[in-house]
Amino acid sequence: MSRVATPVAAGNWKMHVTPDEAGAFFRSFLALHSPREDRTVAFFPPALSFAAAREATAERRDILLGVQNVYWEEKGAFTGEISAEMAAAAGAALVLVGHSERRHVFGETDEDTRRKVQAVIRAGLAPLLCVGELLEERDSGRAAPVVRRQLEAVYDSLEPDHAARLLIAYEPVWAIGTGRTASPADAEEMHGQIRQFLQDTFDEELAARTPILYGGSVKPDNADGLLRARDVDGLLVGGASLQPDGFARICSAAG
Ligand code: PGA
């Protein structure tokens, strides 16, 4: 995938939206959101609705599609899993890796996340790596070291040309699905630290080119303020990406 235009607005549908509902969503959404070269719009439908989403967006190559999770093996006896190669063959450009629900509901470790990022790169897709601290980690002053640990686990084993393929989403776990958004200042602070980590680990160019998205209770009303914060290159949106009109507003925020 060539470099994405920023800002990025990405909808993570989680375990919502059937194939029929995906068709209906895009009939409304595409009428509300015209193609724009100055930004990127992406969706992560559930795997079973991916084909319907792809069909509904076939005329709109400005819309990128991704899957919410993959297993790191290419194929084999892994009942219930899909591989990055399968996601690529189905037309995905992106894969979410390390979403907090994968980490905290399904027990994925930093090492699992590392292996999944490697698999996504092997398949020629772009990983959207999610990082973020729990409420107790923030309250005990450990937000920055936790996020750093999550980043190191993935980036320490990546070659620079592979590292350049990642997008990052900072999603403080206490702000996901809770209605409690991080303030633009909170986002700005952590995004700045993530950018600094990339600069220290690689170089200034890679740091500047890596899109860093914010996620956690993004709504049409707060999207603009978050996108205008320094180092916020886009938004990863859960609940508010399920409504075509609200998400179209988010997609045109900040310009
Ligand atoms: P939310 O979810 O927008 O519903 O808080 C964001 C996410 O989990 O990616």
d(CA 176, CA 44): 16
d(CA 142, CA 81): 33
- Output 85-89 pairs: Cβ under 8 A, ≥24 positions apart: 85/122, 85/123, 87/123, 87/125, 88/123, 88/124, 88/125
Q: Is the per-residue pLDDT at 2 higher than 80? A: no
- Confidence (pLDDT) at 3: 80
> Nearest residue CA, atom 3 of ligand 1?
238
Q: Is the per-residue pLDDT at 254 higher than 90? A: no
Out of 217, 221, 226, give the residue to mutate to test ligand 1, the one with the largest number of ligand atoms within 8 Å of its CB: 217
70-95 pLDDT per residue, tens: 999 999 999 999 999 999 999 999 99
Establish whether residue 143 lines the binding site of ligand 1, counting it when its CB lies within 6 angstroms of any ligand atom.
no
168-193 pLDDT per residue, tens: 999 999 999 898 889 999 999 999 99
Establish whether residue 172 lines the binding site of ligand 1, counting it when its CB lies within 6 angstroms of any ligand atom.
no
Please tell me whether the peptide bond between 7 and the residue prior to it is cis, using omega within 30 degrees of 0.
yes
d(CA 166, CA 125): 9
135-173 pLDDT per residue, tens: 999 999 999 999 999 999 999 999 999 999 999 999 999
Compute the residue count for the chain.
Answer: 255
Establish whether residue 64 lines the binding site of ligand 1, counting it when its CB lies within 6 angstroms of any ligand atom.
no
Q: What backbone torsions phi and psi does residue 252 show, to the nearest 5 degrees?
A: -110, 10
